[in-house]
């Protein structure tokens, strides 16, 4: 997941060139189609550097052994440019994929409110959101989805199953469910899709005045959820906080800074960014900060914006990092959306920890290396209690 800038203003600009006179008409048509996608151009039809592009485009469009649409070729051209960076975090999203990516970062989507995963050949419901169509239809965690719309999903990828379940708001989808806990009872349930807002923050009070705060992704509304959860935990008497970032793939850079501001005193550095010219910018806490000891849980799937938060809490508060080495993604992306619904996500810089370290490809090293989810939580609990007794961070 990217450390995505919440304000995405950088345009995707293509400087188009020319061909010989014989292919100028085709070149102009290409530009018209690309402009229809919403791609802004600084056009010069007398630049020979683009001759190869236009010749390849026209040959494939007009002479390939089977018909290829202009959209297919242009999607491929943009995808090819993204691939040419050899950067796994620079990606072209076709419209459906762009929508899914946007939904993840926005923390909402139109569907039934169930999270699914693959277990062998089965598509298993991992969790059901409260108040969702899935819960109202009686679906539970560990149920197996056998069919969607009457079609068996055996052998389908997880993405294909998800896309079949998702759809326009107000439409209905019939899902065939098998429940292993009830002798593999199987039945059909028809659910009405609606917008579901994903809860990204989970909190609870644990023993000995330890507050637990789990953050699953850094979406558009995560900072406000964190602020509310911290307020609730303090009212319940929390004297230390466990921040669980395990499995968090990241999200918005600005939201990570806002979340860190709830823990770090105003004006203190949270993260540094560096552009292609080497210019650095330090993003600081907006406050109010938190005068309680903090312990961070992380694992190999803690990435990007989640790593920014973990590093900031460690560098500023001295928060122990419990678990395993984090993912190691130290770059920042912007996203340009096109009018046809597609989008280009591309790397615009890198981020550094407050102490100036670039963790890309290396990850954050735990201060307390612990394997196993239960053992990690037990260690975090023990450290949180120990920090309470020590009377500080």
User: What CATH fold (topology level) applies to the domain 201-390?
Assistant: 2-enoyl-CoA Hydratase; Chain A, domain 1 (3.90.226)
315 catalytic per annotation: yes
Residue 46: its pLDDT value, please?
53
Catalytic residue (choose from 219, 304, 326, 342): 304
Token pair belonging to 367: 């201060």
118 catalytic per annotation: no
Is the backbone of residue 96 left (phi > 0), alpha (psi -120 to 50) or beta?
Answer: alpha
Catalytic residue (choose from 143, 244, 315, 334): 315
The DSSP-derived string for 105-140 is HHTEEEE-SEEEEEETTEEEEEEE-TTSHHHHTT--
381 in Cβ contact with 339 (< 8 Å) = no
Judge whether residue 35 has pLDDT over 60: no
Q: Which of the pair, 164 or 45, is modelled with greater confidence?
A: 164
Q: What is the chain's mean pLDDT, rounded?
A: 85
Cα 181 to Cα 141: distance, rounded to the nearest angstrom: 11
Going by pLDDT thresholds of 50, 70 and 90, the confidence category of residue 120 is confident
Q: What's the first-to-final CA gap in the chain, in angstroms?
A: 30
Give how far Cα 157 sits from Cα of 118, 151, 162, 163, 178, Å.
8, 14, 9, 10, 18
Nearest to 190 by CA among 138, 154, 153: 138
Going by pLDDT thresholds of 50, 70 and 90, the confidence category of residue 136 is very high
Q: Strand 108-111 and strand 3-4: pairing?
A: unpaired
Going by pLDDT thresholds of 50, 70 and 90, the confidence category of residue 331 is very high
* Ranges for all domains in the chain classified under CATH 2.30.42.10: 108-197
Which residues neighbour 376 within 8 Å (Cβ) at sequence distance 6 or greater?
246, 297, 299, 322, 323, 370
Q: Tell me the CATH class for 108-197.
A: mainly beta
Q: Kindly report, residue by residue over 191-208, the tens digit of the pLDDT.
A: 999 988 878 899 999 999
Share of the chain above pLDDT 70, in %: 87
Residue 130: its pLDDT value, please?
79
Catalytic residue (choose from 329, 345, 350, 379): 329
Average pLDDT of the segment spanning 199-218: 94
Cα 300 to Cα 321: distance, rounded to the nearest angstrom: 12
Going by pLDDT thresholds of 50, 70 and 90, the confidence category of residue 265 is very high
316 catalytic per annotation: no
pTM of the predicted model, to two decimals? 0.75
- Dihedral angle of Cα 191, 197, 198, 204, to the nearest 10 degrees: -110
Nearest to 107 by CA among 230, 7, 233, 223: 223
Average pLDDT of the segment spanning 303-329: 96
Inter-axis angle of helices 222-235 and 253-261, to 10 degrees?
A: 20
Going by pLDDT thresholds of 50, 70 and 90, the confidence category of residue 47 is low
Cα 344 to Cα 14: distance, rounded to the nearest angstrom: 13
Which residues neighbour 59 within 8 Å (Cβ) at sequence distance 6 or greater?
none
* Residue given tokens 């149920």 in the structure block: 143
Going by pLDDT thresholds of 50, 70 and 90, the confidence category of residue 36 is very low
Token pair belonging to 379: 């260690």
Average pLDDT of the segment spanning 257-276: 97
Residue 163: its pLDDT value, please?
80
Among the ranges given (63-72, 73-82, 98-107), the one the predictor scored with the smallest mean pLDDT? 98-107
Judge whether residue 392 has pLDDT over 80: no
Average pLDDT of the segment spanning 366-373: 96
Residues, the chain, total? 393
Among the ranges given (128-132, 224-228, 232-236, 268-272), the one the predictor scored with the smallest mean pLDDT? 128-132
* Ranges for all domains in the chain classified under CATH 3.90.226.10: 201-390
């Amino acid at each position: 997941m990217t450390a995505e800038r919440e304000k995405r203003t950088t345009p995707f600009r293509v400087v188009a060139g020319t061909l010989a006179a014989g292919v100028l008409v085709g070149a102009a048509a290409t530009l018209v189609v690309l402009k229809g996608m919403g791609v802004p151009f600084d056009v010069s039809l007398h630049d020979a550097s683009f001759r190869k592009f236009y010749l390849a485009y026209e040959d494939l469009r007009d002479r390939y052994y089977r018909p290829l649409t202009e959209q297919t070729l242009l999607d491929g051209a943009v995808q090819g440019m993204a691939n040419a960076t050899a950067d796994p975090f620079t990606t072209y999203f076709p419209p459906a994929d762009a929508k899914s990516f946007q939904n993840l970062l926005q923390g909402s989507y139109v569907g039934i409110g169930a999270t699914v995963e693959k277990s062998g050949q089965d598509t298993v419901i991992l969790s059901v959101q409260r108040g969702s169509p899935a819960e109202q239809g009686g679906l539970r965690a560990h149920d197996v989805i056998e069919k969607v719309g009457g079609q068996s999903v055996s052998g389908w990828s997880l993405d294909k199953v998800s896309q079949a379940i998702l759809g326009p708001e107000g439409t209905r989808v019939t899902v065939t469910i098998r429940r292993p806990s009830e002798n593999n009872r199987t039945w059909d349930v028809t659910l009405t899709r609606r917008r579901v807002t994903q809860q990204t923050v989970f909190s609870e009070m644990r023993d000995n005045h330890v507050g637990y705060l789990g953050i699953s992704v850094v979406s558009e509304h995560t900072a406000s959820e964190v602020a509310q959860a911290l307020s609730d935990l303090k009212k319940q008497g929390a004297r230390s906080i466990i921040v669980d970032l395990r499995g968090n793939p990241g999200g918005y850079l600005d939201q990570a800074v806002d979340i860190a501001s709830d823990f770090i005193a105003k004006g203190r550095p949270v993260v540094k960014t560096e552009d292609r010219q080497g210019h650095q910018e330090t993003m600081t806490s907006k406050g109010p900060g938190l005068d309680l000891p903090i312990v961070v849980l992380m694992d190999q799937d803690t990435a990007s914006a989640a790593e920014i938060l973990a590093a900031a809490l460690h560098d500023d508060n001295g928060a122990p990092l419990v678990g395993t080495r984090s993912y190691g993604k130290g770059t920042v992306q912007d996203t340009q959306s096109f009018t046809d619904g597609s989008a280009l996500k591309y790397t615009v810089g890198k981020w550094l920890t407050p102490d100036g370290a670039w963790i890309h490809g290396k990850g954050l090293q735990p201060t307390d290396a612990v394997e196993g989810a239960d053992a990690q939580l037990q260690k975090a609990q023990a450290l949180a209690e120990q920090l309470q007794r020590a009377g500080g961070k």
